């Protein structure tokens, strides 16, 4: 039994109407079972979501609470590229314990993962002088995977979509045909990028859905060429939806004005007492000295006053205890801010306090995510293969249920999860 998981970043249930009309979906997934709406996590942001999808645990247990490794003095902050950020056992480790072969192509937070045999993690060159091969070598890719990367690196086209996603697919096809891994998980992000840049629903997003359909065809053709279709289970899933926004609020600009952030003559950060990490349509507010009760109450009062003013994009101010109790979110932050529904949060102290959405970066796009999981369009899961029933439709499940479902399918031990197998779609 083999399992291939295709995470189409930001695909939502509304996208299935078009996808179901396209040739490869109709050919390969017409009899698939499906979860119509998959409840995401808080924050509904790519890296925490994908760690939840691979561990079956919430962020309070797996430890990845944003895309970034929080370090306010580092501009830009480093992303959570590497597996050492993850505190919970994942499906890759469970598979290796049973002697199965494993593969990740651009699955977030898998850099330097010791239990992934064929590893091309989501990663980029970190300097202009660094080659793509050197970057991936440092992120844990083997010589065999570096050869795959070299073969397709020209497709990357300076990280533009959909070419960098085609790179993911081309590498995946090569690995699938040559190595036939038992567990393979990949992450193209074209739909997510189009939504950030153009909005939630539009012709460009429809283009991304058509691209995804073409890639599904490439994957199944590779599985056929590898002569593994008889044992081939395929899951098309996603991590979060998006909502339309009109502005970005950079609360650090206000914290700077009020003296909680200090900069030098060139506006570089030199010290801070309170710092706001933008997480798309939510934000985490950190205190440098968490034991300073006076500072805590000062900042809490400030945030609550900003919420009450209805001017700064804040609909909720959660303290750390409530974030953990209600949404399984725990970290070194003291407060969590939730969007008013049309604002995102940035982390800059250099940009204006409020700026119009411009596309591109998820914190400053025309649509984005990070909001409470019950808001907006919802992610999906569609599954086909010998381990799944045909044409079973389930209305709801959670991201935390995905890894337990995969473990059950492959006969793996992944006992300590927050989710449970989606039994109704399994044979």
Rounded percentage of the chain residues whose pLDDT exceeds 70: 99
Report field, pTM of the whole predicted structure over 0.85:
yes
Tell me if 386 sits within 8 A of 235, measured CB to CB.
no
Do 62 and 207 fall into the same domain?
yes
For 301-314, how does the pLDDT look when each residue is reduced to its tens digit (9 = 90+)?
999 999 999 999 99
Dig out the tokens for 57 from the structure.
């645990």
Q: Report the domain count for the chain.
A: 2
**Peptide bond preceding 76: is omega within 30 degrees of 0, i.e. cis?**
yes
We report the CATH number of the domain holding residue 184 as 3.40.720.10
Residues 203 and 255 grouped into a single domain: no
For residues 158-165, average pLDDT: 90
CATH of the domain at 306: 3.30.1360.110
Question: Is residue 361 in a domain?
Answer: no
d(CA 127, CA 135): 9
Per-residue pLDDT tens digits for 8-48: 999 999 999 999 999 999 999 999 999 999 999 999 999 99
CA dist 300 and 140 (Å) reads: 42
In a domain, residue 367? The reply is no
254, 235: one domain: no
Shared domain for 29 and 154, answered yes or no, is: yes
> Cα–Cα distances in Å, from 170 out to 197, 224, 239, 302?
25, 15, 22, 50
332-387 pLDDT, tens digit per residue, is 999 999 999 999 999 999 999 998 877 667 777 899 999 999 999 999 999 999 99
Say yes or no: 300 and 384 in one domain.
no
Same domain, 27 and 81: yes
* Residue 119 bridge partners (DSSP): 104
Give the H/E segment covering residue 198: helix 190-198
Which of 310, 327, 356 is at the close of a domain?
356
> Are 217 and 283 found together in one domain?
no
Q: Is 422 exposed, middle or buried (0-12, 13-18, 19+ CB in 10 A)?
A: buried
List the beta strands (DSSP E) in 282-328: 282-287, 314-319
Its sign, for the CA torsion 243, 359, 347, 87, is: positive
Task: Mark whether 88 and 74 lie in a shared domain.
Answer: yes
Q: Are residues 227 and 79 in the same domain?
A: yes
Whether residues 268 and 131 share a domain: the answer is no
Q: Which domain holds residue 221?
A: 2-241+377-425
Q: How high is the pLDDT of residue 260?
A: 98
What does the pLDDT average to over 52-79? 94
* CA distances from residue 244 to 188, 278, 286, 346, 369 in whole angstroms, order as listed: 21, 17, 27, 16, 9
Render pLDDT for 170-217 as a digit per residue (tens, 0 to 9).
999 999 999 999 999 999 999 999 999 999 999 999 999 999 999 999
Residue 226 and residue 93 share a domain: yes
């Amino acid at each position: 039994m083999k399992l291939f998981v295709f995470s189409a970043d930001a695909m939502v249930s509304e996208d299935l109407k078009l996808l179901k009309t396209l040739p490869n979906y109709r050919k390969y997934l017409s009899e698939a079972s499906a979860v119509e709406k998959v409840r995401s996590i808080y924050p509904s942001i790519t890296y925490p979501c994908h760690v939840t999808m691979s561990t079956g645990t919430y962020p309070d247990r797996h430890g990845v609470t944003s895309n970034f490794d929080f370090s306010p003095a580092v501009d830009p902050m480093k992303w959570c590229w590497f597996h050492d950020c993850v505190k919970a056992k994942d499906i890759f480790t469970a598979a290796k314990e049973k002697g199965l072969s494993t593969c990740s192509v651009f699955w977030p937070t898998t850099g330097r993962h010791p239990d992934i045999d064929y590893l091309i993690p989501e990663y980029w060159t970190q300097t202009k002088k660094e080659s793509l091969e050197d970057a991936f070598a440092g992120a844990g890719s083997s010589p065999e995977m570096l050869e795959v990367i070299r073969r397709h690196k020209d497709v990357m086209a300076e990280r533009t979509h959909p070419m960098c996603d085609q790179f993911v697919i081309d590498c995946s096809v090569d690995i699938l045909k040559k190595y036939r891994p038992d567990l393979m998980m990949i992450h193209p992000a074209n739909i997510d990028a189009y939504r950030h840049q153009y909005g939630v629903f539009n012709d460009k997003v429809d283009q991304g859905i058509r691209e995804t359909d073409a890639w599904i065809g490439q994957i199944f053709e590779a599985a056929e060429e590898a002569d593994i279709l008889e044992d081939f289970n395929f899951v098309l899933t996603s991590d979060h939806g998006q909502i339309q926004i009109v502005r970005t609020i950079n609360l650090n600009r206000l914290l700077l004005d009020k003296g909680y952030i200090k900069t030098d003559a060139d506006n570089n950060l030199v010290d801070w007492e309170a710092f706001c990490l933008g997480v798309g349509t939510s934000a985490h507010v950190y205190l440098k000295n968490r034991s300073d009760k006076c500072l805590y109450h000062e900042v809490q009062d400030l945030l609550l006053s900003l919420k009450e003013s209805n001017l700064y994009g804040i609909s909720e101010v959660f303290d750390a205890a409530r974030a953990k109790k209600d949404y399984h979110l725990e970290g070194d932050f003291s407060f969590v801010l939730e969007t008013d529904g049309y604002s995102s949060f940035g982390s800059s102290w250099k940009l204006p306090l409020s700026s119009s959405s411009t596309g591109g970066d998820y914190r400053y796009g025309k649509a984005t995510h990070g909001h409470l999981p019950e808001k907006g369009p919802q992610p999906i899961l569609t599954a086909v293969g010998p381990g799944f029933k045909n044409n079973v439709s389930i209305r709801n499940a959670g991201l935390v249920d995905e890894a337990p479902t995969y473990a059950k399918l492959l006969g793996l031990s992944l006992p300590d999860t927050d989710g449970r197998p989606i039994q109704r779609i399994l044979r």
